[in-house]
Structure 1
Amino acid sequence: MTRLNLVLLFAVLLSAMHLVQVQYDSRRLYAEIEKAQAQARKLEVEHERLQVDKRAQATPLRVEKLAKEQLKMRPAGPAITQYIAARVPQP
């Protein structure tokens, strides 16, 4: 009877230790999930901000200003347009 009690006591202790380990792992994983979700929210906010910046950078007025100032481009007009006559092939 004493051996059976010792075996059962040992089994209960092992079960309790395993339960504690599982609870610890569960809490650790839950904390990691929370951290990952917080980082995902932060990245979503950053992505939205970058999308707004991209739309602001691509406005036609800004593109035209950069083309004039940095690329020294100018609008096409009749004074600077060169027309080339099309050659009709001779039969």
Structure 2
Amino acid sequence: MNRLTFFLLAALMLCALSLVSAQHQARTLFVAVDRAQAEEKQLDIDWSRLQYQQSSLGKSSRIAEAARSQLKMTPVLPGRTQYLAGVVLETPPASEAAAAAPEGSKP
């Protein structure tokens, strides 16, 4: 009976240590999951903020104001616009066009 008691006591101690180890591992994993969820919420907030910034930076009024203030650009006025009328580009003669063509290509 002495050996049986010693064996049962040893088995009980191993089960208790195993239970403590499992509980510690479960708590560690719970803390890791909690941290991951907190990080997910923070990344979600950052993502929403970046989407808002991107939409506000892409608005035409924002771009126009940046052009006026930072680049010192002015809007186009009809009185300051110069129109070119009757501009005709001359076509080169056939001999110059053939000389300008790469060798090996056929006209």
With the shorter chain as reference, the TM-score category is 0.7 to 0.9
Higher normalized contact order (CA 8 Å, seq sep 6+, divided by chain length): 1
What's the TM-score once normalised by structure 1's chain length? 0.79
Residue 44 of structure 2 corresponds to 44
Q: Percent identity?
A: 31
CA distance in 1 between counterparts of 2:84 and 2:32 reads: 66
Instruction: Give 1:90's match in structure 2, choosing from 77, 88, 93.
Output: 93
Residue 70 of structure 1 corresponds to 70
What's the TM-score once normalised by structure 2's chain length? 0.69
Unpaired stretches in structure 2, ≥5 consecutive residues: 95-107
Larger gyration radius, structure 1 or structure 2: 2
Length, aligned pairs only: 91
Unpaired stretches in structure 1, ≥5 consecutive residues: none
CA distance in 2 between counterparts of 1:50 and 1:44 reads: 10
Give the 4+ runs in structure 1 shifted more than 4 A. Answer: 75-78, 80-85
Displacement of 1:22 = 0.6
RMSD after superposition: 2.4
